Structure 1
Amino acid sequence: MNRYLRIACLTAAMVPLAYPLDSLVHAADASGKTASGVRNHGGDEIILQGFHWNVVRTAPNNWYNILKDKAPTIAADGFTSIWMPVPWRDFSSWSDSSNGTSGGGEGYFWHDFNKNGRYGSDAQLKGAATALNNAGVKVVYDIVPNHMNRGYPQKEINLPAGQGLWRNDCADNGNGPNGCDDGDRFIGGEADLNTAHAQNYAMFRDELKNLKNNYGAKGFRFDFVRGYAGERVDAWMKDAYDSGYCVGELWKSPGEYPASDWRRNASWQEIIKDWSDRGKCSVFDFALKERMQNGSISDWRNGLNGNPDVRWRETAVTFVDNHDTGYSPGPNGGQHHWALPDSLRKQAYAYILTTPGTPVVYWSHMYDWGLDGFIRQLMQIRKAAGVKAASAITFHNGFSGLVASISGSTQTLVLALNSNLANPNQVASGSFTQALNSDNGQIRVWRTGSSGGSTVAVNFRCENGVTQLGDSVYAVGNSADLGNWNAASAVRLTDTSAYPTWKGTLQLPANQALEWKCIIRNEANPSQVKQWQPGANNKVTTAAGVTTTGRF
């Protein structure tokens, strides 16, 4: 496999009679740990990777402002958490003339803990974190304990040589029985920190506390955990934020371990689960990623998230691509060290968003390359069904492609990818309706407890929606897809090209009689409904391409 190559307001509630007053209730956020102590924050997260590799070049010094402005949209789209870039400044710069690539400044070869970096300023970071948390999107910072830029001058962190603070200070360079490092080197090892040293341990512990107390952190993503002990991550979390969320990135294949190590002959699942057990954090599902890259779609069942043991599924953090593995907009297409073929991308998102584990959506797939409608629909299906990290999953043989049934807390889903499955009742009991049919039937999802048949695109318009800063126009109505008259679950209309007309297209069950209204609602606080559309409810029977209009 590819290796790491980077160096790196009044509330005016004009409520119509059709709206039940007692339904403005937020669902309680799950939190805490699994029964075995793994910090997965209840297993109900849907995470957005809030950056790509090139944002320091495509939006230099402005990315935090972009995140702040987009916080309401991120929340309305259904994300519960955001994986933020490394918050520390990074002045590194590198180039490879042999292939014409270059980079630097992404945070993975950081300078010190100063927050005035290439993503924006300290104040901008605080503004973005506040906006995201206020919108209900938990901030999870990327943390890089293994390596830093050792030689750059004018540091606020000075770690002198010869005191065991660096891997290369060890007599045997940290490799043998007298070594002072307990993990793999980053590149040559010259920039590796000895995280076992008490001074370094305390330095990171205090910075995690700082991020929690002063920068809105609700959890951490630990980079390159192959470079230091999982037990150290657990200790940092205990000392700094024991109730927070955490996930580790262990990208190391069995064949990369020495012959004397038990992991040499183990499975990807066993290796990453072992790290999760020691770090007491969830872990990126590289077992699934490897099968996505090298196996058939049927083989995707062999990811950690498909394990029959719930203790394995609930630790899995699933993904399609990220800033390392996938392409990014901008120079050189980003890193793309292990990118999934384009032809599999939609199937992969359908898989991770309907099955157990904690799914992560890559920023560029969601907001740069036009998959937002498809991904948003899948997130709505996942949430309506109550699928979480620990949900039960059964794979069904005797069909082409991949067929699985998933037991959510409120609905059962049947997923068919590239499959000849004709009817969900061939594999599961219940009254099923089709929730999604895409790519000429190659991606199909059925669910119990939802009226209607196949889904159709319905266009919603709200005219004369004059708003103030921080407010948007939403559609709310008498179906689960429209929030069941709950303003907190209403659907935001995002097309403002003809402002003050707001427009949006929703995938809804066909032949469904709907009643709905336009509302103006605060983006960050769903309980602040500023205006309801007056008069009678709008009515529409859903059909492909139909447009339904309301007016303030």
Structure 2
Amino acid sequence: MKKIYRFFCFGLAIMASCSSDDDQSVVADTNDNTQKEIISPIELSDYDNGSGVMMQTFYWDVEPRGEWWTNLSGKIDDWAESGVDRLWLPVATKGASGGYSMGYDPSDYFDFGEFDQHGTVETRFGSRQELETLIEKAHGKGLEVIADIVINHNSGGGEEYNPYRDKNTYTLFDELHGNASGMFNRNFENFYPNSTSNYDDGSLFYAEQNLDHNQEYVQNWLWKSENSVAKYYKNVMGFDGWRFDYVLGYEPWVVKAWLDEVGGFSVSELWDGNADVLSQYVDQTGSGVFDFATFYKLEEAMDRFDDLTVLEGKMLWKTHPDKSVTFAANHDTEKDENEDNRIADENKLKAYAYILTHPGYPTIFYSDYENEAFKEPLKQLVQIHNSLAIGDAEVLYVDNDEYIMKRAGTDDNPGLILYINTSGNTKKRTIKSAWNNSYLMDYTKNVHGSITSDENGEALIEAPANGYSIWSIAKVN
């Protein structure tokens, strides 16, 4: 069967190909009399699988200071149109570093940028009014807003004598000392050690200001009472869920109690690459967890060991797909040049292709999405994820530089086949699909034209050098 291909322009920096025709349709001769059929992609918008992706809306030390909420408000329309359904915001309240704080040094849990303390009224991200405008706009587009919650360590309090440490500590939080809102005032009795708890782990962040969650007073202010942090954030500010920071700093029952009280989407930052540890935490808390096991397997497979067979290892999505929050980068992994905590830029899109086709709930990192070399490919991957990434996952083939995975689809959805190639050459491999006597196309547009499967569903698929392709059925016009 002779095929005449129409090529198109696709602006992916690391594997670009360009011509004057942007149409992915293919003209195929059907017999020797030159009867032609037009082979076109299916409309992905017709295959809504109910999925979405979360956008991490910040990176370390965002600029310009004081304008971040307004900046994000201007991006909501684009994110919503692209298929994002949740926004993970940075810590929204006043930190000890004032206008320079990224929020991970929490001081006043109820100062969203309205009290003059730590040298500023606004937070690094802006005013309370600007935050409320952002949340309202996100909700208007059907996007949930996720609050970053830091309930382990505190910072920025006043100095007081602490009899349980026999020295002065910065554990006094009141209207004059780092807690201008006057809500959830604290002193040395609310931090470890105290009159009811002797626990002290010096390895924790700000160990001297490590909140004692066993105290009824602390529990009431964090999640139980009507004006608690959890209920104020949910009922007054309009947050829809929670990202729990550094959960190694407190026991799993704390997250479970919080969720039992107020509910909502949740994901915990348990920084551990052991899938069994992550799985146990999910079972203990009921919370979703960032899938560090998958992140590190991707880093090892594509960077450290350059061996895709690593992807056969344990990952949280394989046992708890509904609780696995996958990612290819975040504010911490991109903060420094630690190669063991970062996926190299040249492999980033392949890592996103993996998490956006496999089970789990993917997260997109702000700086990657706003990277002009990545933006359009990421939009296409999100569209594929929200439409065709459904059904059981099955690895069809894997070796050191090739990885092929099939999503089985459903009765009403064809599913997909992912092909990752980390070699320096184009790769082709015959695979067995569920698509018999069908035209197939690569929906990433990294491979042009169409192919056909035989009566047994076998097809010769292709992936570009150091790249990826995602195949599914095409339609005949």
TM-score after normalising by structure 2 = 0.71
For 2:104, the equivalent position in structure 1 comes to 108
Residue in 1 that maps onto 2:56: 49
Confirm or deny that 1:245 pairs with 2:265.
yes
- Structure 2 letter corresponding to 1:373: E
Paired position in structure 2 for 1:129: 135
State the partner residue of 2:290. 284
Superposed, which structure 2 residues align to 1:231-242 within 5 Å? 231-240=253-262, 242=263
Tell whether 2:76 aligns with 1:65: no
Contact 2:414 2:472 in 1 (8 A): yes
Q: Provide the residue aligned with 1:346 in structure 2.
A: 349
> How many pairs are equivalent?
369
Residue equivalent to 1:377? 380
% identical equivalent positions:
24
Query: Is the Cα–Cα contact under 8 Å of residues 146 and 193 in structure 1 kept in the other structure?
Result: yes
Return the offset for 1:223. Answer: 0.6
Stretches of structure 2 lacking an aligned partner (at least 5 in a row): 1-44, 114-122, 159-176, 302-306, 447-462
Please give the per-residue CA displacement for 1:346-385, whole angstroms capped at 9, x wherever unaligned. 1101101111100000000001453110100011111221
Partner of 2:165: none
Q: How does 1:266-277 map to 2 (within 5 A)?
A: 268-277=274-283
Contact 1:403 1:416 in 2 (8 A): yes
- Secondary structure of the 2:381 match is helix
Q: 1:436 Cα shift?
A: 2.1
CA distance in 2, matches of 1:189, 1:382: 42
| CA positional deviation for 1:441 | 4.2
- Alignment root-mean-square deviation, CA: 2.9
Distance 1:287 1:170 in 2: 39
Per-residue deviation, 1:396: 2.5
Return the letter of the residue paired with 2:59. Answer: H
CA gap of 1:278–1:339, structure 2 versus 1, over 3 A, is same
Asked if 1:159 corresponds to 2:186, the answer is yes
Counterpart residue type for residue 241 of structure 2: G
1:184 deviates by 8.4
Distance 1:121 1:275 in 2: 36
Structure 1 letter corresponding to 2:221: M
- 2:246 and 2:270 in contact (8 A); partners too: yes
Q: Output the amino acid matched with 1:49.
A: Q
1:356-505 equivalent positions in 2, closer than 5 A: 356-387=359-390, 391-397=391-397, 399=399, 400-409=401-410, 410-418=413-421, 422-423=428-429, 425-426=431-432, 429-430=435-436, 431=438, 432-438=440-446, 440-451=464-475
Say whether the 8 Å CA contact 1:108–1:144 is kept in structure 2. Answer: yes
Instruction: State the match for 2:23 in structure 1.
Output: none
Inter-partner Cα distance in structure 2 for 1:272 and 1:403: 26
Of 73-82 and 298-307, more deviation after overlay is shown by: 298-307
What is the SS of the residue equivalent to 1:394?
strand
Instruction: Report the CA distance between 1:27 and its aligned residue.
Output: 10
Kept in 1: contact 2:48–2:386 (CA 8 A): no
- Given the superposition, is the C-alpha separation of residues 374 and 29 from structure 1 closer, same or farther in structure 2, using an over 3 Å criterion? closer
Instruction: Give the Å deviation of 1:75.
Output: 0.5
2:232 to 207, 210, 226: 210
Contact 2:146 2:243 (8 Å CA) reproduced? yes
* Corresponding residue of 1:316: 324
For structure 1, list consecutive stretches of 5 or more residues without a partner in the other structure: 1-24, 31-43, 94-102, 176-182, 254-267, 328-332, 453-512, 514-552
Q: In 2, are the aligned partners of 1:218 and 1:245 still within 8 Å (CA)? A: yes
- 1:450 aligns to what SS in structure 2? strand
Note closer, same or farther for the CA distance 1:246–1:109 as it changes in structure 2 (3 Å cut): same
Q: Secondary structure at the match of 2:350?
A: helix
8 Å CA contact 1:282, 1:316 repeated in 2:
yes
- Distance (whole Å) between structure 2 residues aligned to residue 406 and residue 433 of structure 1: 15
Alignment correspondent of 2:457: none
Residue 85 of structure 2: aligned partner: 80
2:358 to 355, 358, 366: 355
Q: Would the aligned equivalents of 1:352 and 1:359 in 2 still touch at CA under 8 Å?
A: yes
Report if the CA contact (8 A) 2:154-2:206 is conserved: no
Which residue of structure 2 aligns with residue 140 of structure 1? 146
* CA positional deviation for 1:45: 3.2
Structure 2: distance between partners of 1:236 and 1:447: 42
Distance 2:134 2:74 in 1: 8
SS of corresponding position for 1:80: strand
Cα distance in structure 2, aligned partners of 1:184 and 1:349:
37
What is the match of residue 535 of structure 1? none
Query: 2: CA distance between counterparts of 1:70 and 1:306?
Result: 29
Scaled by the length of structure 1, the TM-score of the pair is 0.61
- 8 Å CA contact 2:309, 2:398 repeated in 1: no
Superposed CA deviations along residues 240-261 of structure 1, whole A, max 9, x for unmatched, are 2x2x1111110035xxxxxxxx
State the secondary structure of the residue aligned to 1:220. strand
Query: In the aligned structure 2, how far is the partner of 1:139 from the partner of 1:252?
Result: 25
Structure 1 counterpart of 2:211: 193
Query: Which position in structure 2 is the counterpart of 1:227?
Result: 249
- Equivalent in the alignment of 2:452: none
Q: Which moved more, 1:204-213 or 1:355-364?
A: 204-213
